[in-house]
Amino acid sequence: MSRVLILVDIQNDFIPGGALPVPGGDQIVPVVNQILPFFDLVVATQDWHPPDHGSFASNHPGKKVYDTIELNGLQQILWPDHCVQGSHGADFVQNLNTNPVEAIFRKGTDPKIDSYSGFFDNGRKKSTGLADYLHGRGVKEVFVAGLAGEFCVNYTIMDAADLGFKTFLIKDATRPLDWQNFEKAMQKMQEKGVTILESKDLGNR
Protein backbone atom coordinates (compact mmCIF):
# COMPACT_ATOMS: atom_id res chain seq x y z
CA MET A 1 0.00 0.00 0.00
CA SER A 2 1.49 3.25 -1.14
CA ARG A 3 1.35 6.46 0.88
CA VAL A 4 2.01 9.93 -0.47
CA LEU A 5 2.91 13.15 1.30
CA ILE A 6 1.47 16.19 -0.47
CA LEU A 7 3.30 19.40 0.45
CA VAL A 8 0.92 22.28 -0.13
CA ASP A 9 2.29 25.69 -1.14
CA ILE A 10 5.39 25.88 1.07
CA GLN A 11 6.45 29.02 -0.76
CA ASN A 12 8.21 32.25 0.23
CA ASP A 13 5.10 34.42 -0.08
CA PHE A 14 3.30 32.28 2.52
CA ILE A 15 5.91 32.60 5.27
CA PRO A 16 6.73 35.67 7.41
CA GLY A 17 8.40 38.25 5.16
CA GLY A 18 6.32 37.16 2.16
CA ALA A 19 3.38 38.88 0.47
CA LEU A 20 0.67 36.75 2.16
CA PRO A 21 2.39 35.50 5.30
CA VAL A 22 0.95 32.67 7.37
CA PRO A 23 1.91 33.21 11.03
CA GLY A 24 4.65 30.73 11.92
CA GLY A 25 4.58 29.32 8.40
CA ASP A 26 8.37 28.97 8.37
CA GLN A 27 8.19 26.78 11.49
CA ILE A 28 6.74 23.85 9.59
CA VAL A 29 9.82 23.47 7.39
CA PRO A 30 12.03 21.55 9.86
CA VAL A 31 9.02 19.35 10.75
CA VAL A 32 8.39 18.58 7.07
CA ASN A 33 12.06 17.85 6.41
CA GLN A 34 12.06 15.37 9.27
CA ILE A 35 9.00 13.38 8.12
CA LEU A 36 9.96 13.00 4.46
CA PRO A 37 11.50 9.50 4.95
CA PHE A 38 8.16 8.08 6.15
CA PHE A 39 6.64 8.27 2.69
CA ASP A 40 6.83 6.15 -0.48
CA LEU A 41 6.18 9.24 -2.57
CA VAL A 42 6.39 12.99 -2.02
CA VAL A 43 4.76 15.57 -4.27
CA ALA A 44 4.30 19.32 -3.90
CA THR A 45 1.83 21.92 -5.04
CA GLN A 46 2.81 25.44 -5.98
CA ASP A 47 0.51 28.44 -6.19
CA TRP A 48 1.53 29.89 -9.57
CA HIS A 49 -0.38 32.97 -10.66
CA PRO A 50 -0.06 35.18 -13.73
CA PRO A 51 0.23 38.90 -12.79
CA ASP A 52 -3.34 39.56 -14.00
CA HIS A 53 -4.84 36.89 -11.73
CA GLY A 54 -8.44 37.54 -10.67
CA SER A 55 -7.72 36.76 -6.99
CA PHE A 56 -5.46 39.82 -6.66
CA ALA A 57 -7.16 42.89 -5.18
CA SER A 58 -4.82 45.00 -7.31
CA ASN A 59 -6.65 43.77 -10.43
CA HIS A 60 -10.03 45.09 -9.19
CA PRO A 61 -10.05 48.91 -9.03
CA GLY A 62 -11.89 50.19 -5.96
CA LYS A 63 -11.59 46.88 -4.08
CA LYS A 64 -9.41 46.18 -1.08
CA VAL A 65 -7.43 43.17 0.06
CA TYR A 66 -9.73 40.67 1.87
CA ASP A 67 -12.88 42.07 0.19
CA THR A 68 -15.07 39.32 -1.23
CA ILE A 69 -16.26 39.62 -4.83
CA GLU A 70 -17.92 37.36 -7.36
CA LEU A 71 -15.36 36.12 -9.87
CA ASN A 72 -16.99 34.40 -12.84
CA GLY A 73 -19.82 33.11 -10.68
CA LEU A 74 -17.77 32.06 -7.65
CA GLN A 75 -17.23 33.82 -4.31
CA GLN A 76 -13.66 35.06 -4.25
CA ILE A 77 -11.64 36.57 -1.40
CA LEU A 78 -9.27 39.20 -2.77
CA TRP A 79 -5.64 38.66 -1.77
CA PRO A 80 -2.49 40.71 -1.96
CA ASP A 81 -0.47 39.93 -5.10
CA HIS A 82 1.29 36.64 -4.27
CA CYS A 83 3.09 33.72 -5.87
CA VAL A 84 3.46 35.42 -9.22
CA GLN A 85 4.90 32.98 -11.77
CA GLY A 86 8.69 33.04 -11.75
CA SER A 87 8.99 35.43 -8.80
CA HIS A 88 11.03 34.83 -5.63
CA GLY A 89 7.75 34.76 -3.69
CA ALA A 90 6.59 31.78 -5.73
CA ASP A 91 9.75 29.77 -5.04
CA PHE A 92 9.71 27.01 -2.47
CA VAL A 93 11.10 28.09 0.91
CA GLN A 94 14.85 27.74 0.64
CA ASN A 95 15.49 25.38 3.54
CA LEU A 96 12.69 23.00 2.52
CA ASN A 97 14.29 19.75 1.34
CA THR A 98 12.73 19.37 -2.11
CA ASN A 99 15.07 16.56 -3.21
CA PRO A 100 12.51 13.79 -2.56
CA VAL A 101 9.73 15.71 -4.36
CA GLU A 102 9.02 13.63 -7.48
CA ALA A 103 6.43 15.90 -9.06
CA ILE A 104 5.19 19.47 -8.69
CA PHE A 105 1.59 20.41 -9.46
CA ARG A 106 1.10 24.11 -10.23
CA LYS A 107 -2.28 25.72 -9.69
CA GLY A 108 -3.96 29.09 -10.04
CA THR A 109 -2.53 29.59 -13.51
CA ASP A 110 -5.86 30.61 -15.09
CA PRO A 111 -6.48 34.34 -14.41
CA LYS A 112 -10.26 33.77 -14.39
CA ILE A 113 -10.45 31.28 -11.52
CA ASP A 114 -8.63 30.61 -8.25
CA SER A 115 -7.40 27.20 -7.18
CA TYR A 116 -7.01 26.39 -3.49
CA SER A 117 -6.98 22.62 -3.88
CA GLY A 118 -4.05 20.76 -5.36
CA PHE A 119 -6.55 18.62 -7.29
CA PHE A 120 -9.03 21.00 -8.94
CA ASP A 121 -9.74 24.70 -9.45
CA ASN A 122 -12.33 26.25 -7.14
CA GLY A 123 -15.12 25.59 -9.66
CA ARG A 124 -13.97 21.96 -9.95
CA LYS A 125 -13.94 22.45 -13.71
CA LYS A 126 -10.30 21.68 -14.43
CA SER A 127 -8.11 19.03 -12.85
CA THR A 128 -4.40 19.55 -12.19
CA GLY A 129 -3.75 15.90 -13.00
CA LEU A 130 -2.76 15.12 -9.41
CA ALA A 131 -5.49 12.52 -8.85
CA ASP A 132 -4.56 10.58 -11.99
CA TYR A 133 -0.90 10.77 -11.02
CA LEU A 134 -1.59 9.35 -7.57
CA HIS A 135 -3.80 6.59 -8.95
CA GLY A 136 -1.08 5.73 -11.47
CA ARG A 137 1.40 5.39 -8.63
CA GLY A 138 -0.90 3.07 -6.68
CA VAL A 139 -1.43 5.54 -3.86
CA LYS A 140 -4.07 4.60 -1.31
CA GLU A 141 -3.19 6.90 1.60
CA VAL A 142 -2.78 10.65 1.26
CA PHE A 143 -1.04 12.72 3.96
CA VAL A 144 -1.19 16.50 3.66
CA ALA A 145 0.93 19.26 5.19
CA GLY A 146 1.63 22.87 4.30
CA LEU A 147 0.10 26.34 4.02
CA ALA A 148 -2.40 27.72 4.67
CA GLY A 149 -4.36 25.28 6.84
CA GLU A 150 -7.90 26.54 6.31
CA PHE A 151 -7.47 27.29 2.62
CA CYS A 152 -5.22 25.29 0.31
CA VAL A 153 -4.49 22.49 2.79
CA ASN A 154 -8.19 22.19 3.69
CA TYR A 155 -9.40 22.16 0.07
CA THR A 156 -6.74 19.62 -0.91
CA ILE A 157 -7.74 17.35 1.98
CA MET A 158 -11.47 17.57 1.26
CA ASP A 159 -10.88 16.71 -2.40
CA ALA A 160 -8.56 13.81 -1.50
CA ALA A 161 -11.25 12.38 0.80
CA ASP A 162 -13.95 12.89 -1.88
CA LEU A 163 -11.72 11.07 -4.39
CA GLY A 164 -11.69 8.04 -2.09
CA PHE A 165 -8.18 8.24 -0.69
CA LYS A 166 -7.66 7.47 2.99
CA THR A 167 -6.71 10.98 4.04
CA PHE A 168 -4.62 12.40 6.88
CA LEU A 169 -3.75 15.92 8.05
CA ILE A 170 -0.36 16.33 9.71
CA LYS A 171 -1.36 19.13 12.03
CA ASP A 172 2.03 20.26 13.32
CA ALA A 173 3.35 20.47 9.76
CA THR A 174 0.56 22.89 8.86
CA ARG A 175 -0.25 26.49 9.86
CA PRO A 176 -3.39 28.52 9.16
CA LEU A 177 -3.96 32.21 8.60
CA ASP A 178 -6.62 32.07 11.34
CA TRP A 179 -6.78 29.34 13.99
CA GLN A 180 -10.53 29.67 14.63
CA ASN A 181 -11.34 29.07 10.99
CA PHE A 182 -8.85 26.22 10.90
CA GLU A 183 -10.54 24.55 13.88
CA LYS A 184 -13.87 24.72 12.03
CA ALA A 185 -12.25 23.31 8.90
CA MET A 186 -10.70 20.44 10.90
CA GLN A 187 -14.11 19.57 12.32
CA LYS A 188 -15.48 19.24 8.78
CA MET A 189 -12.47 17.14 7.79
CA GLN A 190 -13.16 14.74 10.64
CA GLU A 191 -16.84 14.52 9.69
CA LYS A 192 -15.60 13.37 6.27
CA GLY A 193 -13.46 10.65 7.85
CA VAL A 194 -10.12 12.43 7.67
CA THR A 195 -7.62 11.50 10.40
CA ILE A 196 -5.78 14.35 12.11
CA LEU A 197 -2.40 13.43 13.54
CA GLU A 198 0.95 14.87 14.62
CA SER A 199 4.31 14.20 12.97
CA LYS A 200 5.42 12.14 15.99
CA ASP A 201 2.59 9.66 15.32
CA LEU A 202 3.95 8.74 11.89
CA GLY A 203 6.56 6.36 13.28
CA ASN A 204 3.78 4.18 14.72
CA ARG A 205 1.81 3.86 11.53
Alpha-carbon gap, residue 120 to 141, rounded angstroms:
19
Binding of residue 47 to Zn ion (CB under 5 A): yes
User: DSSP labels for 75-118?
Assistant: EEE-B-S--BTTSGGGSBPTTS--TTEEEEEEE--STTS---SS
- Check 81, 83, 107, 121 and give the catalytic one: 107
What's the min distance (Å) between Cβ of 108 and Zn ion? 5
One of 13, 47, 152, 159 is an active-site residue; which one?
A: 152
**Residue 55 Cβ, how far from Zn ion at the closest point, in Å?**
6
How many chain residues are in contact with Zn ion, going by CB under 5 A? 2
Distance, in Å, from the CA atom of 107 to the CA atom of 29, rounded to the nearest integer, reads 21
Our finding on whether 9 is near Zn ion (CB under 5 A) is no
Helix (H) or strand (E) holding 146: strand 139-147
User: Which residue is closest to Zn ion by CB?
Assistant: 47
- C-alpha–C-alpha distance, residues 82 and 49, integer Å: 8
Considering only residues 54 through 113, tell me which ones interact with Zn ion, judged by CB under 5 A: 108
3 state DSSP class of 198 = coil
Asked if 83 is an active-site residue, the reply is no
One of 9, 13, 121, 159 is an active-site residue; which one?
9
Beta carbon of residue 65, minimum distance to Zn ion (angstroms, whole number): 13
What residues numbered 104-163 form the site for Zn ion, per CB under 5 A? 108
Please report how close the Cβ of residue 10 comes to Zn ion at its closest, in angstroms.
Answer: 14
Residue 173 near residue 166, CB atoms below 8 Å: no
Closest CA to 47 of 78, 22, 12: 12
| The one segment of 42-50, 140-148, 175-183, 188-196 that binds Zn ion by CB under 5 A | 42-50
- Radius of gyration in angstroms for the set of CA atoms belonging to the chain, rounded to a whole number: 16
Classified as helix, coil or strand, 40 is coil
SS3 190: helix
Question: Binding segment for Zn ion among 45-53, 118-126, 168-176, 177-185 (CB under 5 A)?
Answer: 45-53
Minimum distance, C-beta of residue 102 to Zn ion, in the bound complex (Å): 23
C-beta closer to Zn ion: residue 89 or 199: 89
Residue closer to Zn ion (CB basis): 85 or 98: 85
- What is the contact surface with Zn ion in residues (CB under 5 A)? 47, 108
* Catalytic residue ranges: 9, 107, 152
